[in-house]
Amino acid sequence: MRSEAAAQLGGLEMFVSAGKGRGLRARRRFAVGELLFSCPAYVAVLTVSERGSHCDGCFARKEGLSKCGRCKQAFYCNVECQKEDWPMHKLECASMCTFGQNWHPSETVRLTARILAKQKTHPERTQSEKLLAVKEFESHLDKLDNEKRELIQNDIAALHHFYSKHLDYPDNAALVVLFAQVNCNGFTIEDEELSHLGSAIFPDVALMNHSCCPNVIVTYKGTLAEVRAVREIEPGEEIFSSYIDLLYPTEDRNDRLRDSYFFSCDCRECTTKEKDKEKLEICKLNDPPSAETVKDMIRYARNVIEEFRRAKHYKYILCLTLTPLLELLEICELSLDKMGAVFEDSNVYMLHMMYQAMGVCLYVQDWEGALCYGQKIIRPYSKHYPSYSLNVASMWLKLGRLYMALKNRTAGVKALKRAIAIMEVAHGKDHPYISEIKKELEDH
């Protein structure tokens, strides 16, 4: 057990949170927008689709990146970035050369391979593990059902298949534990528009417990995680982040938490369910729909969201051609028509499908279509999400850029400034994303 002095980090301390296990607690007051702490990635992997536009080492977005001379699939800012990343990239470099187009391990497999390599080369604690070590991660192994265990075995098989040269493997039981730990404690790194950039392990950040009323937000500066207050935090108060998208009603949020993290939330939002009525707003009709009709439509909405997720995976990710994309847009439009007979546009299930439709429009460069959906989304988003939400900031940002592209500078400036106001709290005023947006304003 670490000493109390060793379990502290600049005004924060690890403690035992009632009913939650380990947690993080404030030892002093933090103001809104203040940086509580930052944590470099223990390991990180850039998503394959962003190679060439972001550095594989530091995740910086820039033009003119230099490619790895061997595999020609990894790109770097400079020689320094390439050398720093080589101990990790060498796990994949030869394998990518060998498999060519057939090299396709998941990000979870790639991340786990890097953890195994890092644990061998750095058995001591790293700068990412000031409070919590990777080996101390919770695995929830006893809560895994057969389906999750089978998925882990598939990942283990892929690990052996794609990584044979540079890794020393522990036995199967130890690998099951490690994959379970990664599944519960991994982070998704996103850019300013919440587009997926990669996956990473941030041990000290993983110490924070979840709340649907979070008092901090996690953002990223390359492969550095930064944790900032989005509410005033008093000494002795527990630090809570959110593990999930907070748009959805209480039942949906807790279904997601139970499925991915094996617990239900007991925060004020989940106890009172005070936002659920607004989030599930029903059409105001002379003859309002029956409770059973509403229940059936909620069930339909949940099913169509899952169907769209699967369709998106196969058509949008694997086959980025116009016809499948238009089929996805048709799914969105048909579901919106059906749900619109019962739900208001501000209903979160309507918003979900509008957001998906907007994404397809953006991909096929239908700027007017994307703007139309975005305009319907932004006000309900601002109502349903907490203050300083990245989802709201990213929507204002998308709207601002769309307005600018469509030569509506007045609306574009207003939207971009709204995005900046949120991001200056969530990301910090000196974040490169904010500098880029301010330059966009100057250039227009």
Q: What is the pLDDT of residues 113-129, one digit of tens each?
A: 999 999 999 999 999 99
CATH code: domain 1-41+202-243 is 2.170.270.10
Euclidean distance between CA atoms 137 and 21, whole angstroms: 12
At the fourth CATH level, which superfamily is domain 281-384? Tetratricopeptide repeat domain (1.25.40.10)
Q: What is the mean pLDDT of residues 49-77?
A: 95
What predicted TM-score, i.e. pTM, was given to this entire model? 0.93
- pLDDT computed for residue 165 by the predictor: 77
Query: Does residue 318 register a pLDDT over 90?
Result: no
Express as a percent the part of the chain with pLDDT over 90.
88
Contacts of 29 (CB under 8 A, 6+ apart): 232, 233, 234, 235
User: Tens digits of per-residue pLDDT, 94-153?
Assistant: 999 999 989 999 999 999 999 999 999 999 999 999 999 999 999 999 999 999 999 999
Query: Does residue 430 register a pLDDT over 90?
Result: yes
User: Tens digits of per-residue pLDDT, 353-366?
Assistant: 999 999 999 998 99
Q: Sheet holding 224-229: strands in order across?
A: 35-40, 224-229, 216-221
Q: Is 207 exposed, middle or buried (0-12, 13-18, 19+ CB in 10 A)?
A: buried
- Locate tokens 């990669």: which residue? 198
User: Tens digits of per-residue pLDDT, 222-247?
Assistant: 999 999 999 999 999 999 999 999 99
Contacts of 217 (CB under 8 A, 6+ apart): 227, 228, 230, 241, 242, 388, 390, 426
Euclidean distance between CA atoms 105 and 96, whole angstroms: 10
R_g (Cα) of the chain, nearest Å: 23
- pLDDT computed for residue 325 by the predictor: 79
- pLDDT computed for residue 310 by the predictor: 77
What is the amino acid identity at position 241?
S
User: Tens digits of per-residue pLDDT, 154-187?
Assistant: 999 999 999 987 788 999 999 999 999 999 999 9
- pLDDT computed for residue 2 by the predictor: 47
Integer angstrom CA distances of residue 100 from 70, 88, 316, 376, 394: 12, 19, 22, 44, 35
Instruction: Report the b/e string of 55-81 with b at 16+ CB within 10 A.
Output: bbbbbebeeebeebeebebbbbbeeeb
Residue bearing the bigger pLDDT, 306 or 58? 58
User: Tens digits of per-residue pLDDT, 182-226?
Assistant: 999 999 999 999 999 999 999 999 999 999 999 999 999 999 999
- Locate tokens 């907070």: which residue? 246
Helix axis angle, 348-363 relative to 322-339, nearest 10°?
Answer: 160
What secondary structure does DSSP assign to 268-280, as a single string?
Answer: HHHHH-TTHHHHT
- pLDDT computed for residue 10 by the predictor: 85
Q: Count the Cβ atoms, other than its own, within 10 Å of residue 142.
A: 7
- pLDDT computed for residue 7 by the predictor: 54
Query: Does residue 398 register a pLDDT over 60?
Result: yes
Cα-based angle 190, 243, 419 (whole degrees, multiple of 5): 45
CATH code: domain 386-443 is 1.25.40
Structural domain spans, the chain: 1-41+202-243, 246-275, 281-384, 386-443
**Are the folds of 281-384 and 386-443 the same?**
yes
Tokens of 323: 């016809």
